[in-house]
Amino acid sequence: MIEPVARLRIELQDIKPVIWRRVDMPVTASLRALHDVIQAVMCWEHAHLYEFRIGERISGEPDPDGAAFGRKVFAAKNARLKQLLDRGVDRFLYVYDFGDDWRHDIIVEGVRDGSADVDYPAFVDGARAAPPEDVGGPFGFLEFLDVIADPSHADRDQLLRWCGGGFDPDRLNEQRIRVDLAAVAEFRRRALLGHRTRTSR
């Protein structure tokens, strides 16, 4: 099925050189699905809370007991990318892990018809490795990079073990990204197929 897709550029704030990704995302997808995509392309683990900030509106996982942190949070699963595009929104914010406070600019670069032979969402390109989970935000990440680059630093070996044995900030793990994003696309394909089957009965 051919459907409109938005090309999105995802840029992590406060880190230079910029860590970025570009994806093609179906406009019918929810912000919850976009969260899954961002987790996949940043090689993160869904380990923390998140939210999207579009103007004054916050979408994420609502607190079942009421307003989280004194704010109303709308369900990200109920907000569609198309709704934002129809309102002329071409840039918004995604925040992941309120402790480390990873802020991402989500930039809409364009909308076009997708290709019939591509399962969306799809990875386009990007640059540099995303920070490891729980590294301590932008300041902690820069400190981490300084330590692992110094063979004489007392904490280097411990940090390398903590992050899995090695970390190259310039290496984009495109193979892992494509595998993880293909799993997201397959889940979406099966969900759509199930929905069409139910509605055609």
Q: What CATH number has the domain bearing residue 187?
A: 3.10.290.30
In a domain, 64, yes or no: yes
Residue 150 falls within a domain, yes or no?
A: no
φ and ψ of 30, to 5 deg: -85, 165
Domain count, the chain: 1
CA distances from 121 to 3, 26, 76, 177 (A): 11, 6, 17, 12
The tokens for 94 are 């995604």
Please report whether residue 52 resides in a domain. yes
Instruction: Please write the tens of the pLDDT for every residue from 38-87.
Output: 999 999 999 999 999 999 999 999 877 655 567 889 999 999 999 999 99
Q: Is position 144 within any domain?
A: no
DSSP string, 170-188: T---HHHHHHHHHHHHHHH
Q: Is 150 helix (H, G, I), strand (E, B) or coil?
A: coil
Domain range holding 25?
A: 4-129+170-199
Residue (of 43, 42, 31, 50) closest to 98 by Cα position: 50
In a domain, 116, yes or no: yes
Residue 68 forms part of a structural domain: yes
Q: Could you read off the pLDDT of 107-161 as tens digits, one per residue?
A: 999 999 999 999 999 999 999 999 999 999 999 999 999 999 999 999 999 999 9
Is 176 inside any structural domain?
Answer: yes
Residue 30 lies in a domain: yes
